Structure 1
Amino acid sequence: MQTKTIQPIHVLCFETRTSLKEILQYVRVEARRLYRDAVRNDLEITGPVYWIYQGADGQADTVFTLTIALPVTPPTHTINSPYQLKQLEAFECVSEDLYGNWDGLSNTYGSLFGEIMSRKLVPSGQNREIYLNMDFENPERNITEVQIGIVK
């Protein structure tokens, strides 16, 4: 686990209100649409897809804001997109990489929140998952960076 500051990132993104119980409808759907839309609008993709959870507490029924974001270079031209361009602000966080199946996400979050509590840090209410490598056929090859926001 490490503590770090993520610098602002310009993204093309999808936002919605959802719950963990309803979130599967966006998996393998919105990210693909974001990639297609970025290419169609001649945007330069500059990083992997982010899933950002604002207000999620791990409970299946809690409604929170989900942002699925694709880093892009700010365009110099007008784009025609159902998605929004925005800048993610600087983000203070503790992070840990998960290598393998996403079934391990709960353990990774547990480890990070345990460390936050032991170090008496204050969670910001925003968590991010950065999908560095996604392999749906061989999930043991997945690499996911989990970031939990902290108040500085």
Structure 2
Amino acid sequence: MQLKTIAPIHVFSFETVTTLRDLSRFVRVVVRQLYKDAIQNDLEITGPVYWVYKGADGNPDTPFTLTIALPVSQTEETITNSDFKLQTLPAFRCMSCIHEGEWSKLGDTYGGIISEILVKEPAMNGENREIYINMDFDHPERNITEVQIGLI
């Protein structure tokens, strides 16, 4: 686990209000379209996909804001032929941990980070990020995900 501050990141993104119970409808759908639209608009992709959760509390039925973001080079261009938008994710102070393996076990990683935070940094800010370093849908045990829990 590591305490760190992430610099602002320029992204091409999708936003919605959803619940943890309904997350699966976005998996493998939104990201594919983000990549397609980014390439169609000649955006330079600069990093792995981020899922940003604002207000998620672990309850499967609590509504929260989900942002699915693809880092891209900053551009002055206006994107008019896409439902996605360019934005900058702000600097983000967080406790971070690498999760290796199936996403069904992400809860264990979150629990470990939260336990550490409660001892060292008890002020969480209500935002979490997951960075999908490697996604292997055929062999989920090969997934590599960085989990970041925001701190005040």
Q: TM-score range by the shorter chain?
A: over 0.9
1:89-139 CA-partner distances (Å, limit 9, x unpaired): 000000000111112200000000001111142000000000000000011
Rounded to whole Å, the distance in 2 between the matches of 1:103 and 1:82 is 30
Superposed, 1:116-131 pairs within 5 Å as: 116-131=117-132
Rounded to whole Å, the distance in 1 between the matches of 2:63 and 2:79 is 31
Superposed, 1:12-23 pairs within 5 Å as: 12-23=12-23
Rounded to whole Å, the distance in 2 between the matches of 1:40 and 1:150 is 36
Structure 1 position 45, deviation (Å) = 0.1
1:133 and 2:134 aligned: yes
Which residue is 2:62 aligned to? 62
**Count, aligned residues:** 151
Letter in 2 for 1:90: A
1:66-105 CA-partner distances (Å, limit 9, x unpaired): 0000000012433332111000000000000011111220
1:35-73 CA-partner distances (Å, limit 9, x unpaired): 000000000000000000000000010000000000000
Which residue is 1:43 aligned to? 43
Which residue is 1:78 aligned to? 78
Identical amino acids, percent of aligned pairs: 58
Normalising by structure 1, report the TM-score.
Answer: 0.97
**SS in structure 2 of the partner of residue 110 of structure 1:** helix
Letter in 1 for 2:11: V
Letter in 2 for 1:56: A
Question: Which aligned runs of 4 or more in structure 1 are off by greater than 6 angstroms?
Answer: none
Normalising by structure 2, report the TM-score.
Answer: 0.97
